[in-house]
Every structure is written in C-alpha cells, then in structure tokens.
Copies of this chain bind each other. A is one copy, B any other.
Amino acid sequence: MALEFEQPIIELEARIRELREYADSKDVDLSDEIALLEQKLEKLQKEIFGGLSRWQRVQLARAPGRPTTLDVVEKVFADFIELHGDRTFADDPAIVAGLARFRGKSVVVVGHQKGKTTKENIHRNFGMPHPEGYRKAMRMMDMADRFGFPFVSLIDTPGAYPGVSAEERGQAWVIAQSIQRMGRLRVPAIAVVLGEGGSGGALAIGVGNRVLIMENAWYSVISPESCAAILWRDAAQAEEAAEALKLTAHDLRELGVVDRVVPEPGGGAHRHPDRALRELEAALAEELEGLEALGPGELLADRYRRFRAMGAVKIEPAG
C-alpha cells in the first residue's frame, strides 16, 4: 500500500528494524551501524520529502493511515462524545460531530470522516457528505454559539457528494448556508485541513478565524483529476493540474488562503500519526489561546476581514 516515492524510505526502515531485531536476539552491539543507518534514513527522508511534487503531496493527503477526524477527536481531544443527526432528514456518517474537551475546556468539533476499510468507506461515502452532513455541522455551530464554546472543524473530503439525491435535497443550498452559518459564529472558530480539502464541500466547514493545514494536505477549488478532465480533457493529466492549481499547504500559505502549516514528521503523518497529532495539538492550543482574548463582535469582524481580503485583483482608481 506504500506510495512509489516512499519505497526507499520503507526499505531502509525495514533494514534498520531487522538489524535491531538481530542485535536483540543475538545480544550483539550494532548501535553504531544502526545509528549510521538512522542518519541515512533522516537524510533520505529530508531529500525525498523536501523535493515532493505537488501531485505526490496529493497522494500523501490520501494515504491510508493518515489521521482522520475520529483519530483527532480521540487523541487530540478528551472526553469526546459523538452527537448524531440533522434533526431534519438523516444522520450522515460522512461527517462526525460532537462535544469534547481541549485542555480542560469544552469545545464543539465537526469533521469529514473517511473510512479506513472499504466497508467503512462505503458506509461513510468516502467522506463525501450529503446535505444532511452539513446540516448536522450547522446544528453543531448553533450549539457552539449557544454555549460559547470554541468551534473546531476538521476538513478531509474529496468534495461534497455529486449525486442525484444530494442535488434533490439542495447540496448547493446547504453548503451556502453552512458557509454563512460558520461565518456568523460568535465564538472562536478554527478550521484544520487534515487531508483533502475538496472545493465547496470543504469550505462549508472552513470559515474559521484561523485556517490551519497539515503539511501534506491539499485544498483547492477542484481535485486535480477533475480539473485535468475539464481543462486538459484528460484526467491522466492530474499531475500537471496539481502543479497548476498550487494546492499544497505551502502554496496556500503564500496565497494567504491558510494561516499556518502544521508540520508533519519526516515520512508523513500517515506513517507517524501520533507525532503529527502532537504537532496539531500544539498548533491548536496556540491559535485558540490567541483567539480567546476576542469578544463575539471582534471574532465576527476578524473573520470577515480575513475572508474579505481573499483574492487577487487590481483596482483602478475612481476616475
């Protein structure tokens, strides 16, 4: 299941593991050899991960083993309790929501959820929400506002589900409503792009005072494959489309679309999820603390300023 460009790292890791096991079982001292290989591993990781193409990052963002919303609520938050349903039509398993504690204080958490197995993926519709998912998210935003709890969203979706049922029940409407609802939160709101940030289905829960992104996540208006299919009329040009879309964490930091890149350990979050989540926890703690000083009106104004500034235009002076 490893990605092609990871192979050298994985092979080297395997050799180190073997050497360790051998040393342990035979009770010989191979610490010098191991240390050498570990240095080599670190160098190799830096080399490979320092030179990742955008398309390779997209693959990392989708890699199995990468922390999902349920991993985050379990390991970054405490006392998580999942709450279900949109009180209108259904419970959507593609979005997970609930209450939790973060550093002792209550927070509301909402995130896209992909499955870890094929069966779970089908159950969770590969993390592609129906309108009900966004209505559940909005209900959670209401709850955050009602109790004055910070709102944390975790983005990891290829996009909102593009199916007949979703269209019939107003996919566009509910995404628009969710953007609006989140923009109106009177509490601190932080959005984190965990893996895939696919279009409006991602943005629907992305209207934070701060928007964070994991180092190997992507976030854009369209997936590279769909973009290639439309602009190049060939989905196989996804690699080129990924380059053109400038959809990586560092690209987005430069464009001002995200505020902070959460570093992933060498090898990527999918290979070292716990370390990645500790980085995320630290970043969340810092950002939340920074927002705590702001009152409801200031938070609203701060969020409007943030998104109002988005875009690249040249404005002629009034004649």
Task: List A residues at the B interface (Cβ < 8 Å).
Answer: 87-89, 131, 169-170, 173-174, 177
Report the bound CA distance from A170 to B132 in whole Å: 13
Is B169's CB under 8 angstroms from A87's CB? no
Query: Which of B87, B174, B177 is within 8 Å of A173, CB to CB?
Result: B87
Give A89's nearest chain B residue, CB to CB.
B169
Report the bound CA distance from A151 to B169 in whole Å: 28
Q: For A170, what are the chain B residues with a Cβ–Cβ distance below 8 Å? A: 87-89
A83 to chain B, nearest CB (A): 15
A171 to chain B, nearest CB (A): 12
Report the bound CA distance from A145 to B169 in whole Å: 26
Report the bound CA distance from A31 to B184 in whole Å: 72
Q: For A89, what are the chain B residues with a Cβ–Cβ distance below 8 Å? A: 88-89, 169-170
Known contacts A87-B170, A89-B169; 11 additional CB pairs below 8 A are: A87-B173, A87-B177, A88-B88, A88-B89, A88-B131, A88-B169, A88-B170, A88-B173, A88-B174, A89-B89, A89-B170
Q: For A131, what are the chain B residues with a Cβ–Cβ distance below 8 Å? A: 88
Give A87's nearest chain B residue, CB to CB.
B173
Report the bound CA distance from A169 to B135 in whole Å: 14
Report the bound CA distance from A88 to B173 in whole Å: 8
A244 to chain B, nearest CB (A): 36
Q: For A169, what are the chain B residues with a Cβ–Cβ distance below 8 Å? A: 88-89
Report the bound CA distance from A173 to B90 in whole Å: 13
A45 to chain B, nearest CB (A): 49
Report the bound CA distance from A88 to B174 in whole Å: 8
Q: 13 interchain pairs (CB within 8 A)?
A: A87-B170, A87-B173, A87-B177, A88-B88, A88-B89, A88-B131, A88-B169, A88-B170, A88-B173, A88-B174, A89-B89, A89-B169, A89-B170
Report the bound CA distance from A21 to B312 in whole Å: 81
A245 to chain B, nearest CB (A): 32
